[in-house]
A and B are shown apart, each in its own frame.
Chain A
Amino acid sequence: MAIADLMDQVVTTRLDELVSWCRKNSLWPMPFATACCGIELMAVGASRHDIARFGSEVFRFSPRQCDLMIVAGRVVMKMLPVLQRIWQQMPEPKWCISMGACASTGGVFDTYCVVQGIDRFIPVDMYVPGCPPRPEQLIQAVVDLQEKIQREGTMFGKEFYIASRQQTKRALQEP
């Protein structure tokens, strides 16, 4: 391997790490709260649990200013196109936390109008179990996501284009 190549790699890796470190410590969440989990999401932002300790306190209600979507609650047929649109409006790089049983799997609402897990239709990075999850669980998810960003984040988002990540496996199964 030529020495020039090696230098190139060393510099790039460190820049990636620096950029990821900057990104992970100021995640701006987009609160997509459609049901009771949203109340717990508010508690996470409030003073007792205080997600500001982890740099994510700036909840923005415009998707253009966010890089972390937190889907809290069930998503129904009529809401899914809205969810997808908001996801598309968020600038790269962006991540998604699926909060609660309903957002992750549909929960107990196995009915004609409730989407059985948002990961069938949009990419999800973290799943938080619970009905509703405790605020500590959501904070843990944010911390885990920060770790993930630090571990594999790249400056130009190469990690998002890895072929094995492109498959949304469950969406291909039965309706």
Chain B
Amino acid sequence: MPIEETVNALRVAFGDLPVSKFRGDTRAVVPTEKIYEALELLKEKHGFDLLIDITCVDYLNYPGAKDRFGLVYLLAGTVTNQRLTIRAFVNEPEPRVRSVASLWEGANWLEREVWDMFGIQFEGHPDLRRILMPEEFTAFPLRKDYPMQGLGERHNFPVLKRGES
């Protein structure tokens, strides 16, 4: 089944989606509140059984961008040998989207990473905790408004001196 048929099926189900192609990869933008249904459809009906990655882009101050965060879901079909990129946009103040951890077990840690780095809430996620940064960390370091050197968290530790240790 060519990828165009999959895209057409998506269009039938969710309206006229923006679709683009780049170097042989197809990308479709899905409405944020329909992301779970779209991915479920792709998994159950179109053979996209492998979730390769979930990641996110912060479009703060990006020329021409209308939304703050762009979520990216990279899908692949291991039988059909097809690839598809699904995107969805979320915005502040409370960026949230429905979790797909119930579709793919592997989404669990991927969504935790996106939460850790960008602060996107995944509704229905079984265990939404930080995965890379320490528990007590409060910022979301890959957001563009977070300074690269941090806000001093990296030096917020007790100092051990010779005599005391």
Which residues of A line the B interface, CB within 8 A?
76-78, 80-81, 84, 87-88, 110-116, 120-123, 160-161, 165-166, 168, 171, 175
Within 8 Å by CB of A111, from B150, B157, B158, B161, lies B150
Chain B binding site: helix, strand, loop or mixed by DSSP?
loop
User: For window 105-143 of chain B, which residues contact chain A by CB distance below 8 Å?
Assistant: 133-134, 137, 141
B162 touches A121 (CB 8 A): no
Shortest CB-to-CB span from B97 to chain A, Å, is 25
- Using A111-B149, A166-B163 as known contacts, say yes or no to A121 and B154 having CB atoms under 8 A apart: no
Instruction: Check B165 for interface membership: any CB of A closer than 8 A.
Output: yes
Instruction: Check B79 for interface membership: any CB of A closer than 8 A.
Output: no
Instruction: Check B153 for interface membership: any CB of A closer than 8 A.
Output: yes
Instruction: Check B146 for interface membership: any CB of A closer than 8 A.
Output: yes
Instruction: Check B148 for interface membership: any CB of A closer than 8 A.
Output: yes
In the bound assembly, the distance between CA atoms of A138 and B136 in angstroms comes to: 36
Query: 0/1 per residue, B52-75, Cβ < 8 Å to A?
Result: 000000000000000000000000
Instruction: Check B1 for interface membership: any CB of A closer than 8 A.
Output: no
In the bound assembly, the distance between CA atoms of A34 and B149 in angstroms comes to: 21
B157 touches A175 (CB 8 A): no
Sample of 12 A–B contacts (CB below 8 Å)? A77-B134, A77-B153, A84-B158, A88-B160, A114-B154, A115-B155, A116-B154, A121-B160, A122-B160, A123-B165, A160-B163, A166-B162
Instruction: Check B12 for interface membership: any CB of A closer than 8 A.
Output: no
Residue of A nearest to B141 (CB): A112
Residue of A nearest to B136 (CB): A77
7 new A-B contacts, CB < 8 A, other than A113-B141, A122-B160, A165-B162, are: A87-B160, A113-B154, A116-B154, A160-B163, A161-B163, A171-B155, A175-B152
A175 touches B155 (CB 8 A): yes
Residue of B nearest to A160 (CB): B162
- Using A77-B134, A113-B133, A171-B159 as known contacts, say yes or no to A122 and B165 having CB atoms under 8 A apart: yes
- List chain A residues, Cβ under 8 A from B150: 111-113
- List chain A residues, Cβ under 8 A from B147: 112
A168 touches B157 (CB 8 A): no
Within 8 Å by CB of A123, from B151, B154, B162, lies B162
B149 touches A120 (CB 8 A): no
- List chain A residues, Cβ under 8 A from B134: 77-78
In the bound assembly, the distance between CA atoms of A81 and B134 in angstroms comes to: 11
Shortest CB-to-CB span from A146 to chain B, Å, is 19
Within 8 Å by CB of A115, from B137, B148, B154, B163, lies B154
B161 touches A112 (CB 8 A): no
- List chain B residues, Cβ under 8 A from A113: 133, 141, 150, 153-154
- Using A111-B148, A112-B150 as known contacts, say yes or no to A168 and B159 having CB atoms under 8 A apart: yes
B155 touches A120 (CB 8 A): yes
- List chain A residues, Cβ under 8 A from B162: 123, 160-161, 165-166
- List chain B residues, Cβ under 8 A from A116: 154-155
- List chain A residues, Cβ under 8 A from B158: 84, 121
In the bound assembly, the distance between CA atoms of A168 and B146 in angstroms comes to: 29
